[in-house]
Structure 1
Amino acid sequence: MNSLVRLCVILVTIIVTSLSHAQSAFKLKKVTVETEVKTIMSEKWQDNFKHVEYPKQWLNNVITVNPGESLQAAIDQANAEGGGVVFLKKGIHLLHKTITLKGLVTLVGEGRDVTIIQQAPDLKETGFNIEAQPQVTDLVIKDLTLKGNRQGKANGILIRGRNESRHTRVMLQNINVTDWSAQGVHMKRTNNIIMDNCNFQYNGSAGGLYHNVYFLYNKYILQSDCDMSYPVLGKGNKYTSCEFVLAQRCTIKDCLGNGIQADHEEAGYIFLHKYNISGCGRVAMWFPCENYYDKFHYTENSKYAPQKVILNRCEVVNNTWGAMWRSVKDSYVINSTFNNKNIDMGLLKCDVKMENSTFKKGNEIYTDVKEWPKDVRILW
């Protein structure tokens, strides 16, 4: 082999190796579900829990975007070409207009500390948006920060599907979503949602109805190692009409109001493992029996409350009330610790079994709504 051929072989090897390393950086990493979770699920639910499906990726087609270049054009191109990676170089990418996300796209930065997508002063609406049509599948957002400026009523990420064509297979990995005036992330009628190693913090400054994360009518959710602390006015995480939810090693700290809310019909098979909630001014875990479309009329119909809930190794401490649940049935609190200011768990017409758990303040079991504490409003 002559020297020119050897040089060509070396160059090709370098290029192939470089591409392989780049593709590895763009590739999503699957979440390892703790063995204990699987064991308890099998014992309590047999094979009834349905786990998420992961997005597909197209890693060979890479479109690079530098600060100041069009992110929307790159997303449109990757989608039109049948899938690809939109690679955002480090720096501040200013958003002057809402970005419409599309399917078959991996949107990835160089790291959430160095690739910053920033809401510009003239953007008063959503940062990243997906409407009901067309259906979006196989979307990955990773290794970046999406930062708002607390102006207007703007969501960081807003995804709105429809029952007949739900968006599906959406993954957020190693990202921050902070300082958006409305929801940090709001996903509606979307299936197979994965959030891994993400921070959703300091969102919801526009009012108490806006939260760090708000799920509405979603199925198959996996959250792992996510921090939903410090919502400005709303909740850390709201699960309304959500089914087949697994959240492991998640944290919510220091809410003015409630930490978690889970409610409404179709809510069930919710497994919270090593979920730590502290510093909530109201209720850490608020599970009301609430008809979303008629919420100002009290109901005890269990179809409007989450069913089949498991808390395992959760720590719910230093909140005003730990958990206030109504009509929650066929549920378990296992290996968990509660230590709160007023009540650890207040249960109205619930069927919740306690296994190897500690309640330092103590629980209250209510059989009539008249026994419900007056300082905990039924419709928070």
Structure 2
Amino acid sequence: MAFFWQSVVLELRKLWSDWQPVPRMPLDAAPDLNSSLLHQEIQVVNCCIARKKRRKAAKESLDSLLKQASVDNSKPRSSNGESPDSEMYARDCTGDYVLRLGADRLSENLTLLETGEPIYSPTLQEGPIMTAELIKETEELVLRTGSLGAGCSQLLSDMQAFKAANPGCVLEDFVRWHSPPDWFEDCAANSTTVGEGSSRRGRLSDRMQTKEGNLWKELWEAAKPIPAVEQTPIYDEDLAVESIFDGLEVIEPSKLFEQLLAVILSVCFVEAESVLAADSSLSKLFYDCKDYIANIYQDDMSKEKLDEICKVYETMEAIVTHPEEALQIMEQPDEKSLENKNRFKLKLNIMAKDRPPLWKRAPKDEKRMSPKDDKNTLEEKNTKIFSNLFDKKVTIFSKKNAKSSEVPPTPPSSSPGPFDESEWTIL
């Protein structure tokens, strides 16, 4: 098992080094916080690969623009007549034409207050890719320290990109583009300047005009006209992905199993729901099982929860493979049905005498044993249910990808509980 998992991580590293996305995963989507942490981390890998490709393309585009500008360097750029026949240039406060860098698209109905040049939206740096675990860690850090360093870094980066794309701009221009609610238009079109933070067309909000501790003004004065592709990355894709791989290499077997089991159960519910009629008598049982699994995964896994999950798994198998016989079993009276309703101790012994079992089940007389019988026999049965969970390929997984369905068999354990915190067993 250890060798298999190490080979999986090595394959992920190879895909990363070759800039090849992980197959059968979203190519450039934010992590799905409703999925397992393992799934979210693989999504981060694909997201980082897509970002590196975009950055490379942006860098090549900027280099091409600079080369073209150097060829046209002999053309006049002063305000003595005609302007360059290209939108690559903008007139600054001195009247000279300066090359726009990192401009993405034209912002409609916005012009620079000082020069009247159209405002272009710059290409900005992308923020951090957040998994559920990283979001939790960030929230704890902010609550503990009150630090908002990441937000300041993003704002400074946006200001630098805006300055590079719009030569001759001022803070009011950036506020109008970045935070429109902090800009108030004057009613009089030709009003004159009335004070600091105001202009002939409008004024900044009160919070933007604060003289002491005004973070926006401080960052604006420190910002230099640098396109996003030339800036120091806010989010280091290489560091993020390497930390993910390092974590996967040392993950505990129990934690990995817990995530894989959640994926298998999700596939199980999807497959069962696709074959279950809306008016089926098994619908209530199906959705009860689904709600139970959703609730049980809110907390850490335990042996008792695992036993219940295995029984729900067998119930789903019965619904998919033999719904008629499962329905007959459910219709039989059960004295303890009310007592065990919330624990899903479903006795779906649907195997006929002349049909081989889907799982390696205990003998018939052992199945009829009460939960209050011999303790050792019960523990052996629970362990057997767990070990047989991956013994064979079940019909409900036959149409799915091999990666999500083929899980290596678990070696038998002498411990009564499946969650042994020992190291990987080397086969």
TM-score higher than 0.5 here? Answer: no
Instruction: Identify the TM-score tier after normalising by the shorter chain.
Output: under 0.3
TM-score by length of 1: 0.22
State the structure with more CA Rg.
2
TM-score by length of 2: 0.20
Q: Which has the larger strand fraction? A: 1
Q: Which has the larger helix fraction? A: 2
